[in-house]
Every structure is written in C-alpha cells, then in structure tokens.
Amino acid sequence: MTSLTPKQSPVESWDRLPSDWHNDERMDALFAFFKDRELNPVHYDAKMKFWSETIINYCEDHGILQIDISTIVSRFRRKGKTSKCLDKIFEELIKQRRLISTNDYTYSQQSSWVSWTFNKLTSPLTSLMSTKIPVDQDIFVIKELVDKKAQQVIESLQSHVCVATFDCVISYGSFIDACRRCALIDENSINLIISTLVRDKKILIDYVGETKNVKVVKFIAPGTPTVRPITEIENSVLLLRHSKDRLEEQLKKSDEQMEGLLTDIRRHLKNSNRTAAMKLLRKKKILEREYEKKDRTVEHLNTVLTQIEQTDCSSLVINAYSSGVQAHKELLRKNGLTPDAVEDMIDEVHDMLDTQNEIDDAITRPLANDTTDMTELEIELEELLRQPIPPTPAVTTVPNANDISNISIPNEAIKIPEEDPFADLELRLQKLGVKEPTPNKLADVASSSH
C-alpha cells in the first residue's frame, strides 16, 4: 500500500533551518508567486530576503558552489509542495551579481594574455551567434561562497605549516583532503576552488620528480600575497618526503604479507604439511630482511629531513639576530647614541652638579653687612646657661566654677602685694660692678626718692 505521507525534504534535517519553516500560514505565503512590489513592498522585500539568505546559507553548509533552479526546488520541498517564486529569486540574485552563469564565470577565470585577447576579439561574434540560456535551465556559480571557501582552504593549509621554507608544498591528494575538510564534497566545487586559487595566484600546480610524475600543489606561505615558484630546496625535500611515504606504504604492505604468511604457515603445520610450511617460512624470512632494509632507509630519511628542518630553523634564528642587530644600530644612529656622546653627557652632568653646589654655598653664606661677633654671642649664651633657674611659683588650685559663688572670702584675706621698686636693684648693681650698699645708704636713697 502506498503511503500518503509526503516524503521528507532534504532540507528538513538542516541545522540552520529557519523557524518559519514550521509555520504553515507563513510558508504558504512564502511559497506563493510574487506579487507586484508596489502593492506591499514590506512583504516583497521580506520574502526576497528570506529565500536569498536561506538558499545561500544552505549551500554554504553543504559545500554547494553551483546551483540551478530545479535542484533548489527539489531540495526545498515542503509537505509535497514546491516553491513558485524561486525563478524571481534567481533573477534578483543574478542582478546583484551574487549568482553568475557558469559560462560567464569560466570566461572570467581565464587569465592568460592570449586567451584574453582571443576572447576579446571573438566575444562580439560569439554573443551574436550564441543564444542566451534561460534562467530555469542554466547553472550558476555562487561567487561569494567560492571566494569564502577558497580562503577557508588556504587557512586550513597554512595552519599545518611548521617550516615555511618547504612545508608549503604538498601532494595533490593532500590538497584534495584539505578541500574535503572544508565541506567541499562535490568534484565540481573543488574544481571551482582550484581555478579560483590559481587565478588569484594563491596556489600553483606542478609536477616534480625525475619523470615529472608526482603532482604537487604549492600554496602561499603565511604573510605573503602571492605564491612563488617551487625552489630547488622545496623540490628536493618534496622528493625525500615522497620517497619516505612510498617506503612507508611498502612497509605497511610487507607487514600485512608477513602476517598472512604466518597465518598460512600455522594452517599448514596444523594440517601436517611441513613442506608447504617450510616454503612459506623461507618467503617470510626474505620479506623480513627486505622489511629491515626499508625500515632503516626510512629512519635515515627521517634523520635527513629533521636535519634540514633544524638547518632551516637555524637560518631563521640567524636572520632574526641579523634583523635585530640592524634595528639596534639604526636606533642608536637615529638617537645619536655613541660612547663618546655618552661620556660627554656624563661630564656635562657632573659640571652641572658642581655648579649647583657652588650656587647652594653662595646662597647659605652670611650677608656682608652682618657685623655680629659670633664669639661674643657664644660667651653670652654660656653665661645664661650658668645662671640659676628661678623657682616656679606655686599654682593655686581654683575651685570649680559652679561652686565658687558659695565660697565666702573675708576681705582681710585678699591682699594685693605692693610693688617693690628695689627688688632687682641688687642684681643690677652686681652687673654694673658696684658693691652692695649698706642699709644706711639704702635708707638715704629711699628717703631722697620721697
């Protein structure tokens, strides 16, 4: 019995499937024919944006660089329905140069002067003789995805570069593996990437070996704009690696053969067929001797390759030292730093410090009109130090201010000391060198003063 359930569309398992895809009402409007933009420009632009971004994103995630309307219609089928507006979407993408006809893209990839001249001369005639392919029958290249994927392939290759001198040359098979790691499964898509990278001079394809039977790809080294031809060093290293890889493959096959012979020998011994077992054992011994020779050769090749890598690293170190020395010399020359200049500067600094010390001494020197004799000042200071210190008068404790109003002091207790005009007379007479006056003289002086 035939199932009535519509077959699931390939897009249903896509991780970045738009959320509107599960909205029946919304998708019915998006699957319908386009109406005139003047009627509803907002809906028209939103519908155009939805389909443009969905198609480009789907092709990017699935490594599809060439598309046509019939393939997209089949991939974006929903519940047995197909979109009726994809031809309009393709026309808009072509107008925006996001989609380019395969014939036009191939023509634009031709970079040689002869091809360019020939096509320039024949293009008017060709355009008249050829008929334009309808949109629904043509195959288009998504240019923005081709450029993006090409850059991803280059970055993937450069991420495995350890020694830029010869790590930028790889076998053609390794290059194809790098393309597949970037989600490029289709052979046509890989060929588009190759033609784009060759046109942009980011890779070159060549054959090496004595008989030119080894197909290799050289890509741009990190930090360089274009790829350079394969050098003799790269050619030699590549042949060494190729020989080592072939020997390792032979060792792997020999190992499998020896395992198979050992199984057969055991089987013959189990069947008591010693003659056949002995014959196979001799063959196994021959394979073991050949295996040992090849294994030693592989070790020697690994040693040679390691020495080459170390030599290249040493060369990089020497070049780095040389660049550093040149930069240092240029910096010294630019700033005028020489041993003589530094010595002169140090002498100037010392002279400046000596001058500053002289200035400080001049500032602290006494003024000329200051005639004070320091000796007299010292003698007077010593005399003051020898004089006795007068006793400190007793401090009378004053009662609390809050209680002073309650204290009654008799008038007889309050006495104001009379000033004695002759209190310091004795001291002054001693300083003047006069003898102490007698009590009679003191009385006469006192009476005369009255």
Looking at the fold, whether 86 and 35 belong to one and the same domain comes out as: yes
User: Does residue 322 fall inside a structural domain?
Assistant: no
User: Does residue 378 fall inside a structural domain?
Assistant: no
Looking at the fold, whether 205 and 245 belong to one and the same domain comes out as: no
In angstroms, what CA-CA distances link 33 with 36, 74, 245? 10, 17, 58
- Under 8 Å CB-to-CB from 182, ≥6 apart: which residues? 63, 149, 152, 153, 156
Amino acid of residue 307: Q
Q: Give CA angle at 73 (69, 77), nearest 5°.
A: 170
What whole-number distance in Å separates Cα of residue 42 and Cα of residue 18? 19
Of 305, 333, 162, which Cα lies nearest the Cα of 236?
305
User: Does residue 261 fall inside a structural domain?
Assistant: yes
What whole-number distance in Å separates Cα of residue 261 and Cα of residue 281? 7
Tokens of 128: 């008249």
Phi then psi for 14, rounded to 5 degrees? -75, 135
Are 209 and 183 a contacting pair, CB within 8 Å? no
In angstroms, what CA-CA distances link 99 with 4, 141, 142, 280, 433? 37, 6, 5, 64, 128
Are 63 and 185 a contacting pair, CB within 8 Å? yes
Low-confidence ranges of the chain (pLDDT < 50): 1-4, 111-130, 401, 404-405, 407, 409, 412-416, 434, 442, 445-446, 449-450
Of 87, 91, 94, which Cα lies nearest the Cα of 72?
87
In angstroms, what CA-CA distances link 250 with 46, 64, 290, 292, 293? 61, 37, 10, 12, 12
Torsional sign, CA 338, 340, 345, 346: positive
Tokens of 14: 């896509």
What whole-number distance in Å separates Cα of residue 430 and Cα of residue 141? 128
Tokens of 129: 């003789």
What whole-number distance in Å separates Cα of residue 73 and Cα of residue 85? 10
User: Does residue 411 fall inside a structural domain?
Assistant: no
| Three-state SS at 303 | helix
User: Does residue 148 fall inside a structural domain?
Assistant: yes
What whole-number distance in Å separates Cα of residue 25 and Cα of residue 28? 5
Tokens of 146: 């081709």
Domain count, the chain: 3
Count of CB atoms situated within 10 Å of the CB of 27: 18
> Given 294, 309, 324, which residue is the final one in a domain?
309
User: Does residue 334 fall inside a structural domain?
Assistant: no
- Under 8 Å CB-to-CB from 35, ≥6 apart: which residues? 44
Looking at the fold, whether 30 and 82 belong to one and the same domain comes out as: yes
Are 143 and 186 a contacting pair, CB within 8 Å? no
Looking at the fold, whether 204 and 277 belong to one and the same domain comes out as: no
Length of the chain equals 450
Tokens of 359: 């200035």
Range of the domain at 266: 239-309
User: Does residue 111 fall inside a structural domain?
Assistant: yes
Looking at the fold, whether 181 and 66 belong to one and the same domain comes out as: no
User: Does residue 160 fall inside a structural domain?
Assistant: yes
Report pLDDT for 54: 93
Cβ burial 60-76 (10 Å sphere, 16+ → b, else e): bebbbbbbebeebeebb
Are 54 and 72 a contacting pair, CB within 8 Å? no
In angstroms, what CA-CA distances link 82 with 6, 45, 189, 418? 12, 20, 26, 133
Looking at the fold, whether 130 and 180 belong to one and the same domain comes out as: no
Report pLDDT for 393: 61
Residue whose token pair is 């019995």 = 1
Count of CB atoms situated within 10 Å of the CB of 300: 11
Looking at the fold, whether 95 and 106 belong to one and the same domain comes out as: yes
Looking at the fold, whether 148 and 130 belong to one and the same domain comes out as: no
Looking at the fold, whether 281 and 185 belong to one and the same domain comes out as: no
> Given 238, 263, 286, which residue is the final one in a domain?
238
**Can you give the CATH number for the domain in which 88 is found?**
1.10.10
Report pLDDT for 149: 92
What whole-number distance in Å separates Cα of residue 57 and Cα of residue 53? 6
Looking at the fold, whether 14 and 137 belong to one and the same domain comes out as: yes
Q: What is the pTM of this model?
A: 0.55
Looking at the fold, whether 137 and 14 belong to one and the same domain comes out as: yes
Tokens of 377: 């000042």
Looking at the fold, whether 30 and 133 belong to one and the same domain comes out as: yes
What whole-number distance in Å separates Cα of residue 313 and Cα of residue 163? 8
- Under 8 Å CB-to-CB from 86, ≥6 apart: which residues? 51, 69, 72, 73, 76
Report pLDDT for 80: 86
- Under 8 Å CB-to-CB from 10, ≥6 apart: which residues? 74, 75
> Given 309, 334, 350, which residue is the final one in a domain?
309
What whole-number distance in Å separates Cα of residue 101 and Cα of residue 205? 26
